[in-house]
Chain A
Amino acid sequence: MRGLRLSKVGLTRVAVVGGAVAALEILCRSGVIPRATMIPPIEMVAAMWQILRSGRANSDIAFTVVNLFAAVVLSVVVGFGLGAVLHALPRARRVSEPLLSAYYAVPVFIFYPLLIVAFGVGRTALIVMGATFGVVAMVVNTMTGLDRVPKAITRTAAVMRLDPVRRLLLLRLPAASPHLMTGVKLAVAYSVIGIVAGEFILATAGIGKRIAFGYQDFDNRMMYGMLLLLLVLVVAVNGALSYWEKRLHQRFGLQ
């Protein structure tokens, strides 16, 4: 029964997405959306395939992926550390609360030009930009995760007389893990924004730079091919992390 319902949901989902893409294809082919604005989805896929096969964008793709990875690692490590520290210091946490909650309402990458001055045009400025974007999501979710550790678990730890390290590794981290995973997922999403935005403005290489170049040169095949590649990449990573997050919620979540 469950399998049947799932497959029905899945099929409808495929139909909805497929229908939307098909509609776009028809609109583009019939000229309702002019070619200069958008190329048909099938050509986007062809363009992406061609770019991948020719290998002419490989260095740009590697550039972005490596930077993204570095930025995510940086935001997760720093974010978790900061989150744990703030969780332990309620006063500091209360003081920083308005800053944390307003953080994503402020266009942080305004500081990108300053990072370029500080680090030069290249990897470092982009990685710092990406990490700057991602870190606060991790801080906030680390604190939420630690907040949500049920009292019963803390008490159990006390009853079992676990030492602090075991308490952390065996009880608190697993109990907080669903939220930590949410933090990682968001850190990835935000780091992508920071890095791609940076590549758009000023960079020596990267997927974002290729897209911006494609736009400026009216090279729609390059622009849409790279755009599709980036979207596929992001959706795949996000899908994998969401799946993992859901599993953790089912295993350790409260509801």
Chain B
Amino acid sequence: MKPRRYDGLLLIAALLVCWQIVYLRVGADVVSSPADTIRRATTLLLTRNFWTDAASTGVAFAYACLIGIAGGMVLGLVLGLSRFAADVADPILGSVYSIPKITLYPIILLLFGLSPAAKIAFGVIHGIFPVAISTMNAVRNVAPVYRRTAEALRLSPSHTIMKVLAPAALPEIFAGVRIGIAVTLLGILIAELFASSSGIGYALIRATEIHNVVDTFALTLLLFLFAVAINALLQFAERRIRHQT
């Protein structure tokens, strides 16, 4: 148990050392040093502009997660309950999931215009498929004994879903939700990087365009930390769920 505590520190130290070496080799006009970046990141956290951008990204992220997870679960549940529907949908969902969504952003922009809605829609098309696929597979993989027991007990369909299928399928569904949330964030940020008028991604691409290396690195660092924090939280939740069931 003991060395585990130092694992995180070790990783951070290794990354910082690599970063510093790259910085020393290529120089400050390409890479900003770890110390400068961290200093800039802390000052950014005190500015109003940063929080306006963060709020814009955060709101879009929250909406996209809600829509993507809810939509994906409903879709996956409906398809997973019928073997036939699941067999029909499986390769279709897989193909759609494997499409690089980035190619679809011009279409989304043409549909929604340069608005927060475009950002959210782009996040949703990233997140909805992993959730749908994992929900579908989770429901499909529920041991037949559970279903038969539910039938023998003459549970109503809604009871079967709420009391039997959902708890049994939850761990696998949550694994999909975790991926879904991660790719939703990716989608939102891609959208902001390419074309938008607000958000952290927008601030980042602006900084890159005017070759403000320190800001670029500081914003990337903050985004990275945010993503890591969210991921850690979700992993923690996933472990809790796995232990419970």
Contacts and interface: CB of A to CB of B under 8 A. Distances in A.
A105 B8 contact: no
Interface stretch (B41-49, B159-167, B224-232): B224-232
A214 B109 CA distance: 13
Interface residues of A, number: 50
A210 B169 CA distance: 44
A104 B216 contact: no
Interface stretch (A53-61, A74-82, A191-199): A191-199
Nearest to B7: A95
A38 B107 contact: yes
A93 B212 CA distance: 35
Contact of A110 (B8, B220, B230): B220
A39 to B, nearest CB: 11
B interface SS class: helix
A9 B84 contact: yes
Interface in A166-207: 185, 189, 192-193, 196-197, 200-201
6 smallest CB-CB distances across A and B, nearest first, come from: A105-B182, A105-B227, A215-B106, A238-B98, A102-B231, A107-B189
A98 B228 contact: yes
A13 B88 contact: yes
Interface of B: 3-4, 7-8, 10-11, 14-15, 26, 30-31, 84, 87-89, 91-92, 94-95, 98-107, 109-111, 179, 181-183, 185-186, 189-190, 193-194, 201, 204, 208, 216, 220, 223-224, 227-228, 230-232, 235
A167 B133 CA distance: 35
Contacts of B223: 106-107, 110
Contact of A101 (B31, B105, B235): B235
Contacts of B104: 227
A95 B9 CA distance: 9
Interface stretch (A148-156, A157-165, A228-236): A228-236
A37 B100 contact: no
A51 B204 CA distance: 35
A253 to B, nearest CB: 14
A196 B103 contact: yes
A37 B7 contact: no
Nearest to A6: B87
B92 A17 contact: yes
A238 B95 contact: yes
A32 interface: no
17 contacts: A12-B88, A37-B110, A99-B11, A109-B193, A117-B30, A118-B26, A185-B98, A192-B100, A200-B105, A201-B194, A208-B102, A214-B106, A227-B107, A234-B98, A235-B99, A239-B91, A242-B91
